[in-house]
Each structure stands twice: as C-alpha cells, then as structure tokens.
Amino acid sequence: MDKNNNYSLMVHGGAGALDNIKDDKVAVRYLESIRSTLEYGREILEQGGSALQAAETCASFLEDDPIFNAGCGSVLNENGKVEMDAGIMDGRDLSAGAVAAVDNIPNPIQLARLVMTESEHVMLIGDGAMRFADHCGVELAPENYFYTEDRIEQLNQARLKHKIMLDHDDTEEDSEDQKYGTIGAVAWDLEGNLAAATSTGGIVNKRMGRVGDSPIIGAGVYADNETCAVSATGYGEDFMRSVISKTISDFIFMKDMDAEQATLAGIEYLSRKVKGRGGVIVIDKDGKCSSGYTTRKMIHGWIERGGDIVAKF
Ligand code: GLY
C-alpha cells in the first residue's frame, strides 16, 4: 500500500429508527453531508495532517450542517433553549478536552480542543466554559443561528409525548421513534496516531443542565494510540453507565481484539448491561474501521486505509 494512503477516517451523524427519513431527497442530503465531510477529512490526512486535526475539522463540518443535532441545528431543551456538549481526545498522550451545557458557541468541538490545549483542565461547563471562550477570543453566534423549524416542531412533539408518557410506559416503539442525534469523527493518521471527537445538542426536551455522554471521556469519546479511537451516539445515560468507549478500548487492550471484535463485544455489553440505545464508530491501532448499533439505523461513513468512501444508514 502507498505510504500516503495509510490513513483511516470515520464519521457519524446520529442513531435511531430514522423512520422520519422517508423522503429520498432527505436521505440523499444526509449521505451527501457525510461524504463531503469524509472528502474534506481525507485531504487533511493525505497531506500529513494529524488525526486530531482531521477529527476536529470533520466534527466542525458536521456541527455547521443544520440537519445534524450539534452546533447549528441542535435540539432544544425543556425551556426551548440550546445547550450543547462536546469532547475531544488525542490518542498520542491521552490529552482530552470537553465542554458541557454551552450556548452561543458555533463550534463546541473547537472550544473543547481549546480546553485541552489552553487550559490545565479537561472539562469546563456552563458559565465557566463561556467565560473561557471569551478569554480565548471565541466568536459567539446569536441564538437564532442555532434554531431550525424542525427542532421547534420536534420540541413541541416531545412535549406532547411527554404528557402521554406520564400515563403510559415508554414502549419499545416509542423509544425507537426518537433519533438520538450526535455527530462524531475518529481518525488514524499517517503517523499511526488516533483521535476522536464527539459533539451534540443532546436530547429533545432534556432538563436544563442535563449533560450527556458526548463530553464524558470514556463514555461518548475515547482515543488511545495503543488501542483505538471511539465516538458514540445514542441515549447518553446508557453510554455513561456502561462507559462504552473505554470499555471497547479495554477489550482491545486486555483481550487483544481488533476493531470489529471489540465493537461486537462492546455492543453486546451495552445491550446486556443497560439495554443501551445507540451506536459507535471505532478505528483500531491498525487502521481497521468498525461500527455497531443497537438502534435500527445509524448514519455513518468511513474511509478504511485510504480506500473508497462508504456512507450508509
Ligand atoms: N449522546 C448524546 C446525548 O445523550 O446527549
């Protein structure tokens, strides 16, 4: 294999039943966005850019696309407000940065990287994170930048369902009806370094101040050059309780598994222990790509070892 093709990249745009994507045009739009993000990431990696740079740039791209639940287009909480979480990790030295419950930040993943590189901390939340953004000179966006018609409608539907759910159990059908949107990217660069990035608006109608798995190192995001890079999408509470990203990394470290075996084992663990809803993308230390999910579908795509782009639900 050409040395310059020895890189891999994966991205995802959320998991769930995705039965709302009945319109072919909408499906094409999702897949096009996944493809163009991968094309852009490919250029970075082919030119010798780091896995960290590729993961951050791809995540930023997806945050900028309002069809995904991260950055512009984030879902709304119980107060009709956007509160976003993001986390990033560098497999070279396990350095990591994360932000939670931030608003008005167009690219929370970039703020997470600043926490990693410009502060002595791993995670900043709420007002503290906003103050740090100001200190770093991050430009803010007005509230209306983040809002879309679809998200307002989704919140109205969720409020309605919440009332119904007070009287009825949350059936399998109900939970599958929801799209667990989050975006994420994992990369393996020409130097063999791994990195992971995950960003989200969280869950529709969530309580104010609720933080999901995306910024929690080891739950929604993890990278270690000795094992793999993982980004998760799904119902965050399930992923936090199972520490799913670190669990997958541990399968590789302790059981000498590859990406596919560790993903299978991780998804089995997620289902068995907490009936977890969602999925993961994984690249291992040899550049092998793998994905797994317990929902009916997950929007994702990959380039394995410099090969063709694959994008699918
Ligand atoms: N996985 C996104 C969240 O639960 O917030």
Residues 178-209: tens digit of each pLDDT: 566 799 999 999 999 999 999 999 998 899 99
**Angstrom distance (rounded) from CA 198 to CA 70:** 9
Q: Reduce the DSSP state of residue 192 to 3 states and report it.
A: coil
61 C-alpha to center of ligand 1: Å?
19
Which residues share a beta bridge with 278?
234
Q: Is the pTM of this model over 0.95?
A: no
Q: Is the CB of 279 under 6 A from ligand 1?
A: no
**267 contacts 238 by C-beta, under 8 angstroms:** no
**Angstrom distance (rounded) from CA 241 to CA 161:** 25
Higher pLDDT, 180 or 215: 215
Q: Which domain holds residue 268?
A: 3-312
Q: Is the CB of 295 under 6 A from ligand 1?
A: no
Proportion of the chain above pLDDT 70, given as a percent = 90
Residue 161 is predicted with a pLDDT of: 72
* Active-site annotation holder among 182, 198, 233, 247: 182
Place of tokens 């590859």: 258
> Which among 123, 299, 103 has a CA at the least distance from the CA of 208?
103
49 C-alpha to center of ligand 1: Å?
29
Q: Is the CB of 234 under 6 A from ligand 1?
A: yes
- How many domains does the chain fold into? 1
**228 contacts 46 by C-beta, under 8 angstroms:** no
> Which among 243, 312, 283 has a CA at the least distance from the CA of 15?
312
Residue 178 is predicted with a pLDDT of: 56
**Angstrom distance (rounded) from CA 236 to CA 276:** 9
Mark whether 182 is an active-site residue. yes
- CATH code (residue 235): 3.60.20.30
| Element of type H or E holding 253 | helix 244-255
b/e per residue, 16-52, with b = 16+ CB within 10 A? bbbeebeeeeeeeebbebbeebbeebbebbbeebbbb
Residue 19 is predicted with a pLDDT of: 58
What confidence tens digit (pLDDT) does each residue in 244-284 have?
999 999 999 999 999 999 999 999 999 999 999 999 999 99
DSSP conformational letter for 282? E
What secondary structure does DSSP assign to the chain, as a single string?
--GGG--EEEEEEEEE--TT--SHHHHHHHHHHHHHHHHHHHHHHHTT--HHHHHHHHHHHHHHSTTSSSSTT----TTS---EEEEEEETTTTEEEEEEEE-S-S-HHHHHHHHHHHSS-SEEEHHHHHHHHHHTTPPP--HHHH--HHHHHHHHHHHHHHHHHHHS---HHHHHTSEE--EEEEEE-TTS-EEEEEEE---TTPPTT---STTSBTTTEEE-TTSEEEEEEE-HHHHHHHTHHHHHHHHHHHH---HHHHHHHHHHHHHHHH---EEEEEEETT--EEEEESSSEEEEEEE-TT--EEEE-
68 C-alpha to center of ligand 1: Å?
13
Q: Is the CB of 201 under 6 A from ligand 1?
A: no
Residue 179 is predicted with a pLDDT of: 61
